């Protein structure tokens, strides 16, 4: 029986010959990074929508005593997966972008004899959303009048992110333009913008949402009282992330060729 069952396995594998292709070492690294990016992203964005669509309305209905009983056990684990899912998503995405998206364009540009540095290109790109976040952080933390009405801050955030996207597109395109030929692909530009949104969202999680919620939950469990403005700041940062996730996911989708939003290659 054992020999017979083993022969069936051999027949089954033989039927896949010409259909299944074993991945190379480089392909495995790409697959693993993308898989980690997807798993982290599903965890992170799923919890982001839970917080904004379910938890925020729920918290308005809970009294103080109920919050003390429910929130520590509910929110602390959720925030743990939330913030580390964000880290996994961004780190895997950065690795994939640097290894798989930008390098072919850099090699193509180098073939023309131009001196194109993929490392410098990616470092400058990485710091553009960081600078954008610092501006947003200062507005949320230091200009309380701006976050009193959500739609007012939404307009400011929209202008800020549009300016950032334009700067990124100009930078990537100019970095990969050689002898008037534009080598920046649709994938490079789409992920360049969408990934930058993801970096801002990660920094919102670790710079505003988590620190503020940590203090507020600590106050519920006997710690020092939390400043009243912390809740509003965390809400604005979380709602900003929810809105940013929509164009971020759009640009991640357009990077796979369904819509060549930034060019024909």
Q: Is the pLDDT of residue 136 over 70?
A: yes
- Spatial separation of the C-alpha atoms in residues 61 and 74, rounded to whole Å: 15
What is the model's pLDDT at position 214?
Answer: 96
Domain assignment present for residue 5? The answer is no
Domain assignment present for residue 65? The answer is yes
Domain assignment present for residue 95? The answer is yes
pLDDT in tens, 207-256: 999 999 999 999 998 889 999 999 999 999 999 999 999 999 999 999 88
Q: Based on the structure, what is the number of domains in the chain?
A: 1
Domain assignment present for residue 20? The answer is no
Coil/strand/helix, residue 17: strand
User: Strand runs (DSSP E) across the chain, as ranges?
Assistant: 177-178, 181-182
Domain assignment present for residue 15? The answer is no
Q: Is the pLDDT of residue 7 over 80?
A: no
Domain assignment present for residue 18? The answer is no
Structural domain that includes position 142: 25-254
Work out whether the CA dihedral 113, 119, 125, 127 comes out positive or negative: negative
What is the model's pLDDT at position 177?
Answer: 84
Helix %, strand %, coil % of the chain (to 5):
80, 0, 15
Domain assignment present for residue 9? The answer is no
Domain assignment present for residue 218? The answer is yes
**Single pTM value for the model:** 0.89
In this structure, the number of other CB atoms found within 10 A of the CB of residue 20 comes to 8
* Least trusted range by pLDDT, from 84-93, 97-106, 134-143, 218-227: 97-106
Confidence of residue 53 (pLDDT cuts 50, 70, 90): very high
CA angle 152, 155, 158 (to 5 degrees): 150
């Amino acid at each position: 029986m054992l020999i017979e069952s083993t022969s069936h396995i051999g027949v089954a594998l033989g039927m896949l010959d010409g259909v299944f292709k074993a991945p190379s070492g480089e392909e495995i690294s790409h697959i693993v990074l993308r898989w980690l990016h997807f798993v982290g992203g599903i965890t992170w964005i799923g919890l982001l929508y839970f917080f904004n669509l379910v938890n925020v309305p729920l918290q308005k209905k809970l009294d103080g005593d109920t919050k003390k009983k429910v929130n520590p056990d509910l929110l602390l684990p959720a925030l743990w997966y939330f913030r580390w899912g964000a880290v996994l998503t961004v780190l895997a995405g950065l690795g994939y972008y640097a290894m798989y998206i930008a390098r072919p364009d850099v090699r193509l540009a180098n073939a023309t004899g131009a001196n194109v540095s993929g490392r410098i290109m990616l470092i400058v790109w990485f710091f553009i959303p960081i600078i954008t976040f610092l501006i947003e952080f200062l507005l949320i933390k230091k200009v309380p009048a701006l976050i009193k009405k959500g739609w007012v801050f939404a307009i400011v955030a929209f202008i800020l992110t549009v300016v950032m996207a334009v700067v990124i597109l100009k930078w990537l395109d100019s970095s990969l333009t050689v002898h008037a030929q534009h080598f920046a692909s649709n994938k490079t530009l789409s992920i360049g913008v969408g990934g930058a949104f993801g970096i801002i969202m990660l920094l919102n999680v670790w710079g505003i949402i988590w620190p503020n919620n940590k203090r507020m939950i600590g106050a519920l469990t006997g710690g020092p009282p939390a400043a009243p403005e912390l809740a509003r700041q965390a809400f604005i940062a979380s709602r900003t992330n929810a809105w940013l996730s929509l164009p971020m996911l759009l640009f991640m989708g357009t990077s796979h060729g369904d819509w060549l939003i930034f060019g024909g290659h």
